[in-house]
């Protein structure tokens, strides 16, 4: 019988989810779902100093927004709970003590002061900073005496000093690390809680995790995990190490450098579906030219073989394109609902019909955060240079623009049923009567009522949105400007 594929997303509740975290969660989810397996959520909160209040809720909210539904986790339970490491704290010490009994780990009673001095000496000598195994030589009697006296301790893994450790990675192939490079890592901290590395191995084994997915920066740590698996006689999971995500200049993406988290991207007006689609392709290729994938489509086509070893560059221009594609797939009502908060930032006039703006903007918008600067002229006519009326392609200059605006005012004032169609019909009748090009009328009107070179719609659509009174008022301001 085939083994059920089980992956786990095990974030630390430190306050935000950066793009690398999101991609790891997504790939773990897709590996599980593409193999009819289970996707598990586990909260790794043993590092209490970095714990941020509300961070667990943020994790749940993010997973829900992007559609990554877990099969087991702290909120829904499961066969292998609890799924919060701090609630499993009594699980780890017996395993650490077993390693001590086997000779694969040892108690270390070194004080912080001794370790700091050791580091200083090693740095001064130009040596690699690592623990010097001072406590490995303690006799069993000495260890028992120190434990009985209540001396603080950690438990360290005893690494082999010679030879190599080799493992297979699903992305990077065969990796070999010299054992002499491995430091005797701490397994149990002085507060009795496990380190991230130790808890990971224990929990992954107990939760029957078959595929461990993480960033390529953990490649060098993997031999430490494998030595633990071997010491316990446990089966080693399949490792899937993911390539780095970098900026377009090659620098590593990090929150410390001010790079956007998932929450930041959402606040900037990116849709969760677009973010997921783009992030899926940061280091993975479907082997075809298809770029637009729903999560359900990704579940069917995703495979580990498509993951690249090369770093993936996070390109905002490309994300913008994806977002624009997803915006255009929305219904007009859906887009209007998403755009409304952005309209309200720029438009105080309660009489403006946002739906009319949405009809113009949906096909032109890539990122929702650009909406306020695109529509701010609707609320108030900006101060503009009359040179905007001069437009070579439209064959307009200051003189004929003034003529067109003067001729348009009485025609617009005479319109009783103010709407796009009547504005269009009456202005084009005027154009024909004057014997000019359409653009020689519409360009000056658009500049007069928007004060901008680039607008989401043309003169007729903007006039319809602004209303009769405001449109004529602005055209008269344009006439004054051109007459001055």
Please tell me what DSSP assigns to residue 63: H
Instruction: Kindly state the tokens that stand for 133.
Output: 């195994």
- Both structure tokens of 460: 């007729």
Contact (Cβ atoms closer than 8 angstroms) between residue 469 and residue 456: no
In the annotation, is 255 catalytic?
yes
Distance CA(211)–CA(241), nearest Å, equals 10
CB contact at 8 A, 327 and 271: yes
User: Quick one: tokens of 244?
Assistant: 């780095």
d(CA 184, CA 181) in angstroms, rounded, equals 10
Host H or E run for residue 155 = strand 154-157
Cis peptide upstream of residue 82 (ω within 30 degrees of 0): yes
DSSP state at residue 43: B
Residues whose CB falls within 8 Å of the CB of residue 376, separated by 6 or more in sequence, listed in order:
346, 347, 382
**Kind and range of the H or E run holding 247:** none
Contact 97, 157 (CB under 8 A): no
- From 97, 255, 345, 359, active-site residue: 255
CA dihedral for 369, 373, 374, 375, sign (positive or negative): positive
> Is 255 labelled a binding residue?
yes
Binding residues for ATP: 255
Binding residues: 255
**Catalytic residues, which ones?**
255
């Amino acid at each position: 019988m085939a083994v059920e594929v089980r992956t786990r997303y095990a974030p630390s509740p430190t306050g935000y989810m950066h793009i690398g975290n999101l991609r790891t969660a997504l790939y773990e989810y897709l590996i599980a779902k593409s193999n009819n397996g289970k996707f598990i959520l586990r909260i790794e909160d043993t590092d209490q100093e970095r714990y941020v209040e509300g961070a667990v809720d943020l994790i749940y909210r993010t997973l829900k927004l992007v559609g990554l539904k877990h099969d087991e986790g702290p909120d829904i339970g499961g066969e292998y709970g609890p799924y919060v490491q701090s609630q499993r704290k009594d699980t780890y010490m017996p395993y650490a003590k077993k390693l001590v009994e086997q000779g694969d780990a040892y108690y270390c009673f070194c004080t912080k002061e001794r370790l700091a001095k050791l580091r200083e000496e090693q740095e001064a000598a130009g040596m690699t900073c690592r623990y010097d195994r001072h406590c490995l030589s303690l006799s069993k009697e000495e260890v028992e005496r120190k434990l009985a006296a209540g001396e603080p301790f950690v438990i360290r893994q005893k690494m082999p000093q010679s030879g190599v450790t080799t493992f297979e990675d699903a992305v990077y192939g065969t990796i070999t690390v010299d054992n002499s490079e491995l430091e005797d890592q701490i397994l149990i901290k002085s507060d009795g809680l496990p380190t991230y590395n130790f808890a990971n191995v224990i929990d992954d084994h107990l939760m029957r995790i078959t595929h461990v997915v993480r960033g390529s920066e953990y490649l060098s740590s993997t031999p430490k995990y494998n030595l633990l698996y071997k010491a316990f006689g446990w089966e080693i999971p399949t490792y899937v190490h993911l390539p780095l995500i970098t900026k377009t200049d090659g620098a590593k993406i990090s929150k410390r450098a001010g790079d956007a988290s998932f929450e930041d991207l959402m606040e900037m007006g990116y849709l969760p579906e677009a973010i997921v689609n783009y992030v899926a392709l940061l280091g993975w290729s479907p082997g075809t030219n298809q770029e637009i994938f729903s999560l359900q489509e990704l579940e069917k086509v995703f495979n580990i073989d498509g993951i690249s070893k090369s770093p993936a560059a996070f390109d905002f221009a490309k994300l913008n394109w994806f977002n624009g594609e997803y915006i255009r797939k929305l219904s007009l009502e859906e887009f209007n609902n998403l755009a409304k908060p952005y309209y309200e930032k720029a438009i105080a006039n309660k009489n403006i019909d946002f739906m009319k703006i949405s009809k113009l903007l949906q096909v032109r918008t890539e990122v929702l955060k650009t909406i306020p600067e695109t529509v701010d002229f609707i609320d108030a006519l900006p101060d503009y240079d009359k040179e905007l009326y001069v437009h070579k392609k439209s064959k307009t200059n200051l003189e004929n623009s003034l003529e067109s605006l003067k001729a348009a005012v009485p025609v617009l004032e005479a319109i009783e049923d103010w709407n796009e169609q009547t504005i269009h019909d009456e202005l084009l009748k005027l154009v024909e009567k004057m014997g000019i090009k359409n653009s020689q009328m519409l360009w000056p009107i658009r500049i007069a009522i928007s004060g901008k070179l680039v607008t989401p719609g043309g003169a007729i659509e903007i006039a319809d949105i602004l209303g009769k009174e405001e449109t004529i008022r602005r055209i008269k301001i344009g006439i004054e400007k051109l007459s001055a």
